[in-house]
Amino acid sequence: MDSITYPALFWLFMLGSILGTLIEGSFCLIRHGRWETHTVALWGPFCIIYGIGAVILYVGAVLCESMPISGQFAVFATATTMVEYISGLLLRHGIHMKAWDYSGCALNLQGLICIKMTVTWGVLGVLFAKYCVPYIKIAIKMISSALVQVITYISSILMALNLFLTMFCIVRWSRRHRGYPPRNRVEKYFDIKYDDEWMKHRFCEWQFLDAYSN
């Protein structure tokens, strides 16, 4: 489809990631009286789970635009909840960490998903499809130039590097926590450059699972 292109999905991912950081920070400012930057990237104001969510909502809206609102709601709620659950499982079993916890919410599953957030994602998806997607389709036609595509692919390479190093540092953070020393000069360098205090400040909501048992 003309409206589902790589440049469109990439910039939706980037915009969603930045807006997610701003939304989370504003929520903390209102609720707790302080700004918190809930980024999920080593460099830049990117909360990538929101970026992924924006892409899922957009693709779902395009593919399901002929469906009734109830059908769209079901698709959005199911798809985003599955992504949230799988992401939580990867964090839990891959690096023994949590970045969120819905244990205190009604009808939750392992504290990773809950009915409140499932309904929230479904409603947001329906609103996004109705009020945002038409304008996004117009914007996509405006970014189809060769220059924009070149910028897109260069930015994609830089973002891929950012996410790769983010994953590397998070895994290394987890291994340090479990007592594993650096295996080579690269790991030693990153242990010094991005030490535990730096990582705790950068990923302020992330906690190791053993912290929940204390």
List all residues 6 or more positions away from 104 whose beta carbon is below 8 Å from its beta carbon.
none
**pLDDT tens digits, residue range 113-162?**
999 999 999 999 999 999 999 999 888 887 778 888 899 999 999 999 99
Q: What is the pLDDT of residue 212?
A: 54
Pick the closest to residue 197 from 166, 168, 173 (CA basis).
Answer: 173
Segments making up each domain of the chain, as ranges: 6-212
Q: Return d(Cα 60, Cα 69) in angstroms, integer.
A: 12
pLDDT at 214: 47
Instruction: Provide Rg for the chain, Cα atoms.
Output: 19
Q: Is 57 helix (H, G, I), strand (E, B) or coil?
A: helix
Side chain identity, residue 182: P
Burial class for 68, CB neighbours closer than 10 Å (0-12, 13-18, 19+)? exposed
Q: What is the mean pLDDT of each successive set of 10 residues along the chain, which is 214 residues long?
A: 85 95 87 83 93 93 94 96 95 94 94 96 95 90 83 96 97 96 97 96 91 54
Instruction: Please give the pLDDT value at position 1.
Output: 60
Helix (H) or strand (E) holding 208: strand 207-208
Q: Are residues 13 and 54 in contact, defined by beta-carbon separation less than 8 angstroms?
A: yes
pTM confidence score: 0.88
Residue of 74, 83, 38 lying closest to 56 (CA atoms) = 83
pLDDT of the residue at 35 = 82
pLDDT at residue number 141 = 81
- Close Cβ partners of 193 (under 8 Å, ≥ 6 residues apart): none
Q: Which pLDDT score is estimated for 192? A: 97
Give the integer Cα–Cα distance in Å for 102 and 115: 10
